[in-house]
Structure 1
Amino acid sequence: MTTERRYDIDWLRVIAICLLVIYHIAIIFQPWAMFIGFIKSDELFLEGLWKPMTMLNVWRIPLLFYVSGMGLYFAMRKRNWKQLLLERTKRILLPFLFGIVAITTLHMFIFQLYYTMPLGYFPHQGHLWFLGNIFMYVLLLMPLFFYLKKNENGRFKKGLSTLMGNPAGPLMISLFFVLEAVVVKPQLFALYAETWHGFFLGLLAFFFGFLFVYSGKTFWQTVLKWRWLYIGLAAVLFGIRYFIYATEAPGYLTAIESNCWIFGVFGLGYNYLNKPSKTLSYLSQAAYPVYIIHMFVLYAGAFFILPLEIPISLKFIGIVAFTGAGCFLIYEFVLRRIRFLRPFFGLKWARKRMEKVQPSTSNLN
């Protein structure tokens, strides 16, 4: 299997998690925030902020599933199935289980304080549902992936590489996502958390993310060459979804739009982001712990900033700044430096003096 380092994949994972944090902060300023367990602003809502979010919310989570499948490919390069299972257990299952009992309970505690509710201890998956799904995908697909690894010079890989060399090849993958939407019939396409739709869509994205890297360079050359075609198609489909369907188009259309955005993003990333940097080295290590802790930091920001008598736009900016600074301080001065905490947040037990940029095998995959 290839040993090429793919810095763009790590960059896309970092960017996707940053978008996830912004997305979650935007929810606070929507009238329906409390219905999904978020602290809600009681002032005039920033509903205009939701317009760009409706474009992001159909591809931000599928992108992470794709990237996670790609990451598993790289993780398999020097591991047998026992080593891979042990490594995934340490890096995914352990933080998932720890997060259920010790992390998600924190933001629920802040929620109870904000609304002066009786305080209680409620272990739950919360935003960490993503990790539970990823670990299940590893268990389900690992036999097939190791079979493909063993037969990487066979007909399947050659046929897949040929298919991915055609601009219609990636688009054909969308047919599986269309079928998922038709069969599962999600109430909302972007309702991924703890739903069968989220599970099966994630499984497809994880599987094809692995296959895209497995197929070789042809996929990347295709999305690089045709990236503006995919982005153009996605923009047209978003326009249809926004103006005709009031942002909630039929699932089969949204599935195609979602994948077109993602293929365009892959092309842009491959063109502009596939290069090492010290910034990437740091952010790539920080992304997973920040994903785990960001919700209780975000809730803490809402707890202190929403009651202030300042314009609502400044409240949004303030919560963004509070969340970013809070996550950085906790990661840099607590999680990164206290050795026994590191495994619970997906970090390796021992911290190297000089953390070098790693290939796309890191944490959230």
Structure 2
Amino acid sequence: MLPTSRRYDIDWIRVIAIGLLLIYHIAIAFQSWGIMLSFITAPTPWPALWLPMGMLNIWRIPLLFFVSGMGVYFALQNRTAGQLLWERARRILVPFLVGVVLIVPAHIYLWQHYNGFKESYAPNPGHLWFLGNIFVYIVVLLPVVYYLQRHEAGRVAGAIRKLFSTPPGLLVMAGAFILEAWLTDAHPYELYALTWHGFFLGMLAFFFGFCFILSGEPFWKMLLRWRWMFLALAVTLFVVRLVKYNMMAPAYLLVPESHGWILSVFAFGYKYLNQPGNRLRYLSEAAYPVYVLHMVFLSLGSLLIFRLEVPAPVQFVLLVLFTVAGCFAFYEGVVRRINVVRVLFGLKRK
């Protein structure tokens, strides 16, 4: 097995990706269409938020799938396939199921109550859909990634490393994503939740994330060397999408823009974030429990803050503070300290 040290930048990027999802959901509460997604929406929308939301929309979820595939590579360094499956079931499947039957119904109940709909118990994946996807990817792709991990000096792994050692190799990956969008008729491209497009896009990102780590140091040095090119590509294509296509560009432009943002994040993270620390250790453990919980506290905060007669930007800031503080208070006071609850949220027993 080729030596690979722990990558703290990947841990940081996972925490950042979860944080972006949380902030994005708070922003949905200020869009009039949020009610269709079971969000309590502000009486006075804030349409200007859609610009940064639209920029994030095409890469925030794929980024998380890439990171999940990377995590599987590191996990397989000291686990068998069976141990990995059991560990991911505990960390991902259990909180997913707990969320489906307890957390999602709670925030939907609050949404029903706020809007005067008939209250009911409505278990469903909700905002946790991608956790279910990730567990399926692990089950489906485990034979492939386990083989590659155990034969890193083999011909197939060597071909993958050679492919991703230069920027042109990334065109193969982009082609796979464009083909996926065409085959699944991905309109809109940003609709990932509970769609075949989201499922297969996530599987591709998961697999290529694994391949990025498998490719080793040459890939990451290539990213570092070309990081400004990836960022310039992403910014340029975003401006084209905004000016020429009114944010509705075709997939053959959305895919390279998405990859430009994602590769930039990995490159700059590799350069600046590969450092351990107590803050990272705490946030890495807290990230998934906080995300599982956040829609309940977002809904509770919306019930209170949307009654205040203050401008929408002030409501947004207050809602961010309420949601983040509520999630971390519950995590710190309940989830982190009670063994039974720790297990339900995917944490190890103390």
TM bracket, shorter-chain basis: over 0.9
Contact 2:165 2:215 in 1 (8 A): no
2:121 partner SS:
coil
Unaligned runs of at least 5 residues, structure 2: none
Q: Secondary structure at the match of 1:32?
A: helix
1:142 matches 2:137: no
State the aligned residue count: 349
Q: How far is the alpha carbon of 1:147 from its aligned partner?
A: 1.1
- What residue number does 1:37 align with? 38
CA distance in 2, matches of 1:302, 1:111: 10
What does residue 12 of structure 2 align with? 11
Moved more, 143-152 or 159-168: 159-168
> What is the TM-score with the length of structure 2 in the denominator?
0.97
Kindly state the Cα deviation for residue 169 of structure 1 after the two structures are TM-superposed.
1.9
Residue type matched to 2:313 in 1? S
Paired residues for 1:323-362 under 5 Å: 323-350=323-350
Displacement after TM superposition at 1:159 (Å): 2.1
TM-score of the pair, normalised by structure 1 = 0.94
Deviation at 1:279, TM superposition (A): 1.0
Q: Look up the match of 2:179.
A: 179
Q: Which residue of 1 aligns with 2:102?
A: 102
**Counterpart amino acid of 2:111?**
F
Measure, in 1, the Cα distance between the counterparts of 2:278 and 2:249. 41
* Runs of at least 5 residues in structure 1 that lack an aligned partner in the other structure: 351-365
Mapping 1:76-87, distance limit 5 Å: 76-87=76-87
Q: Report 1:236-251 matches (<5 A).
A: 236-251=236-251
Inter-partner Cα distance in structure 2 for 1:88 and 1:233:
35
- Equivalent in the alignment of 1:27: 28
Partner-residue secondary structure (3-state), 1:116: coil
- Offset at residue 146 of structure 1 (A): 1.2
- Paired with 2:325 and 2:201, the residues of 1 have a C-alpha distance of 33
Deviations 1:155-182 (A, max 9, x none): 2222222222212222431111011111
CA contact (8 A) 2:8 2:276 kept: yes
Match of 2:253 in 1: 253
Cα distance per residue 1:29-65 (max 9 Å; x no partner): 112111222111122x211111011111100100000
Measured in 1, the distance between the counterparts of 2:89 and 2:28 equals 32
Are the equivalent residues in 1 in contact too, given 2:297–2:326 (CA < 8 A)? yes
Q: Which residues in structure 2 correspond to 1:28-177 (within 5 Å)?
A: 28-43=29-44, 45-177=45-177
Note the 1:291-302 alignment, pairs <5 A.
291-302=291-302
1:95 deviates by 1.1
Query: Residue type matched to 1:276 in 2?
Result: P
Please tell me the residue identity of whatever aligns with 2:26.
Answer: I
1:208-357 correspondence runs (5 A): 208-350=208-350
State the AA in 2 paired with 1:202. G
Q: Structure 1: how far apart are the matches of 2:286 and 2:91? A: 14
Matched to 1:330, the amino acid is F
Which residue of 2 is the match for residue 197 of structure 1? 197
Secondary structure of 1:263 counterpart: helix
152-161 vs 254-263, which deviates more?
A: 152-161
- By how many angstroms is 1:252 displaced? 2.1
Q: Distance in 2 between matches of 1:198 and 1:259?
A: 16
User: Aligned letter for 1:18?
Assistant: G
Contact 1:185 1:251 in 2 (8 A): no
- C-alpha separation between the residues in 1 aligned to 2:171 and 2:26? 32
**Given that residues 40 and 302 in structure 2 are in contact (C-alpha distance below 8 angstroms), is that contact kept between their aligned partners in structure 1?**
yes
Partner of 1:354: none
Contact 2:4 2:216 in 1 (8 A): no
Give 3-state SS (helix, strand or coil) of 1:20's partner: helix
Alpha-carbon contact 1:164-1:170 (below 8 Å) kept: yes
The 1-side partners of 2:348 and 2:190 are apart by 32
Answer whether contact 1:241 1:249 (CA < 8 A) is retained: yes
Say which SS state the counterpart of residue 160 (structure 1) adopts: helix
Counterparts of 1:99 and 1:34, CA distance in 2 = 20
The one-letter amino acid paired with 2:42 is: S
Distance 2:220 2:4 in 1: 15
State how far apart, in whole Å, the 2-side matches of 1:290 and 1:188 are: 29
Deviation at 1:86, TM superposition (A): 1.1
Distance 2:56 2:171 in 1: 19
Q: Distance in 1 between matches of 2:108 and 2:240?
A: 38
Distance 2:63 2:50 in 1: 20
Amino acid at match of 2:22: V
Task: State the SS of the aligned residue for 1:246.
Answer: coil
Q: Which moved more, 1:267-276 or 1:180-189?
A: 180-189
Distance in structure 1 (CA, Å) of the matches to 2:288 and 2:276? 19
Question: Using the alignment, how far apart are the partners of 1:51 and 1:73 within structure 2?
Answer: 35
Paired AA for residue 290 in structure 2: V
Aligned to 1:102, what secondary structure does the other structure show? helix
Question: What CA distance in whole angstroms lies between the structure 2 residues aligned with 1:114 and 1:256?
Answer: 41
Opposite residue 222 of structure 1, the aligned amino acid is: M
Query: Which whole-Å deviations, capped at 9, do the CAs of 1:254-276 have from their partners, x for residues lacking one?
Result: 11111111011100000000011
What is the letter of the counterpart of residue 77 of structure 2? R
Q: Which moved more, 1:267-276 or 1:2-11?
A: 2-11
